[in-house]
Amino acid sequence: MIKGMWITFGRELRSLFFNPVGWLILLLFYLAHGFETYNRVRLFSNGGDANYFASAYTFSLLNYFVLVLAPPLLTMRAFADERRSGSLEVLMTAPVREASVVLGKWLAALAFWSMLWLPTILILVVLRSEPFLNADVPLAPVLTGFFGMFLCGSVFLAAGCLFSSLTDNVMLAAILGILFNFVLLILPNLLHQSIQPIALEHHWVLVIYEKLHLHNVLGNWFARGLLDTSQVVAFAAATMVILFLNTLTLGMRRWR
Amino acid sequence: MAVGGMRRAGQWGLLLVAVLVAVVVWGLVVLVASEPRFKGLWDLSPQEIGTVSPLTRQLIEEIIEEDRVLEFHLIPERPQAAQTPEQEQLIAIRSSVQQQTWDLLQQYSALGGSRVQVRFYDPYADADDMRELTAKYPVQADGQVIIVLGDRHDVVSMVHDLAEIDHGERLQMAPGAKPLPQLDAYLGEQVLSSRIKELLVTDEPVVYFLKGLQLSDPLTDAGGQGFGALKSLLEQDGMVVKPLTLESGDSVPADASAVALVEPVRDGPSFVADALERFVRKGGRLFVNPSWSVIPDHNASLEPLGVRFGFQLGPRLVCRPLPDVYSNGVRYGVPANAEHDVVGDRMLNRNYSLTEPFAVEGRHILVGMPRELGRRPEAPAGVRPDPSLIRSQPSWLEEPRGMAGPDFRPPSGPQAVVQAQFAPRCLGMVVDVDGDAGETGHVLILSGQVFNKHVLDRNSNFALSVFNWLTSRDVLVGIRAKRYENNRMDVEPHQLERTWFATVVVVPAALLVLCVIVFWRRSRS
Q: Say if residues B451 and B463 touch (Cβ distance below 8 Å).
A: yes
User: How many angstroms away from the CA of B82 is the closest CA of chain A?
Assistant: 21
pLDDT of residue B28: 94
ipTM at complex level: 0.89
The answer to whether the beta carbons of residues B47 and B482 sit under 8 Å apart is yes
> Per the CB < 8 Å rule, is A47 touching B106?
no
Instruction: Identify the DSSP state of B411.
Output: P
pLDDT, tens digit, 9 for 90 and up, residues A134-167: 888 888 889 999 999 999 999 999 999 999 988 8
Q: What is the largest CA-CA distance in chain B?
A: 114
- The residue in chain B having the minimum alpha-carbon distance to the alpha carbon of residue A41 is B496
Reading chain B (525 residues) residue by residue, the pLDDT tens digits are 566 777 778 888 888 899 999 999 999 999 999 887 888 888 888 877 777 877 788 888 888 888 889 999 998 887 777 778 777 778 888 888 888 888 889 889 888 888 898 888 877 777 888 888 888 887 767 888 999 988 888 888 888 888 877 765 544 445 555 666 777 778 788 788 878 877 877 667 899 999 988 877 778 765 556 898 899 888 887 789 999 999 888 899 988 889 999 999 888 889 999 999 999 998 889 999 998 887 888 888 999 999 999 999 988 888 876 655 555 544 444 333 344 466 666 688 877 778 877 777 677 888 888 899 999 998 898 899 999 899 888 888 887 777 766 666 777 788 777 777 788 889 999 999 988 777 788 999 999 989 988 888 888 888 988 998 888 664 444 455 555 666 777 788 888 888 888 889 999 999 899 889 988 888 887
Percent helix, strand, coil in chain B (nearest 5)?
40, 20, 40
Alpha-carbon distance A195 to A205, whole Å? 8
Collapsing DSSP to helix, strand or coil, A55 comes out as helix
Looking at the complex, report in whole angstroms how far the Cα of residue B345 sits from the nearest Cα belonging to chain A. 26
pLDDT (tens digit, 9 = 90+) per residue, A204-237? 888 898 899 898 888 888 988 889 999 999 999 9
Q: Is B216 an interface residue toward A (CB < 8 Å)? A: no
**Cα A192 from Cα B219, distance rounded (Å):** 54
Can you tell me the distance from the alpha carbon of B245 to that of B258, in angstroms, rounded to the nearest whole number? 14
Closest CA to B267 of B294, B285, B251, B290: B290
pLDDT at A93 > cutoff 80? no
Asked if the Cβ–Cβ distance from A134 to B114 is below 8 Å, we say: no
Output helix, strand, coil percentages for chain A, rounded to the nearest 5: 85, 5, 15
Nearest to A115 by CA among A196, A23, A51, A45: A23
Closest CA to B370 of B389, B384, B352, B357: B389
Could you say which of A33, A37, A47 has the minimum Cβ distance to residue B488? Answer: A47
Q: Count of alpha carbons within 13 Å of B502, Cβ hemisphere only?
A: 22
**Cα-to-chain-centroid distance, residue B296:** 37
Closest approach of B193 to chain A, Cα-based (Å):
21
Residues of chain A positioned with their CB less than 8 A from the CB of B512 = 27
DSSP classification of residue B177: P
How many residues does the structure list for chain B?
525
pLDDT at B337: 39
* Cβ separation A245–B19 shorter than 8 A: yes
Of A23, A47, A225, the CB nearest to B50: A225
Cα–Cα distance measured from residue A90 to residue A86, given in angstroms and rounded to the nearest whole number: 7
Spatial distance between the Cα atoms of B446 and B334, rounded to a whole number of angstroms: 24
Instruction: Enter the DSSP assignment of A223.
Output: G
Q: Give chain A's mean pLDDT.
A: 86
The distance from CA B270 to its chain's CA centroid, rounded to whole angstroms, is 38
CB spacing of A228 vs B103 below 8 angstroms: no
Q: What is the pLDDT of residue B191?
A: 82
In whole angstroms, what is the distance from residue A249 CA to residue A240 CA? 14
| pLDDT digit string, tens, across residues B134-190 | 888 877 678 889 999 888 888 888 888 888 777 655 444 455 556 667 777 787 887
**C-alpha to C-alpha distances, B292 to B226, B298, B317, B407, nearest whole angstrom:** 15, 8, 7, 14
Count of CB atoms within 10 A of residue B219's CB? 20
Identify how many contiguous H helices and E strands chain A contains and give both numbers: 13, 2
Q: Which residue from B143, B138, B172, B168 is spatially nearest to B156, judged by alpha carbons?
A: B143
Q: Rounded to whole angstroms, what are the CA distances from A223 to A66, A124, B258, B302, B358?
A: 16, 15, 48, 58, 30
Would strands B256-262 and B285-289 be described as parallel, antiparallel, or unpaired?
Answer: parallel
- Count CB pairs under 8 A between chains A and B: 192
pLDDT score for B464: 87
Query: How close does chain A come to B80, measured CA to CA in Å?
Result: 21
Of how many residues is chain A composed? 256
B177 touches chain A (CB under 8 A): no
Whole-angstrom distance, CA of residue B37 vs CA of residue B474:
21
- For the four alpha carbons of A92, A94, A99 and A103, in that order, the dihedral sign comes to negative
CB atoms within 10 A of CB A177: 27
CA B215, distance to chain mean position in Å, is 33
**What's the confidence (pLDDT) of residue B333?**
41
Least confident segment among A86-95, A106-115, B301-310: A86-95
Give the dihedral sign, CA A4/A7/A10/A15.
negative
User: CA-nearest residue of chain B to A196?
Assistant: B119
Contacts of B520 (CB under 8 A, 6+ apart): none
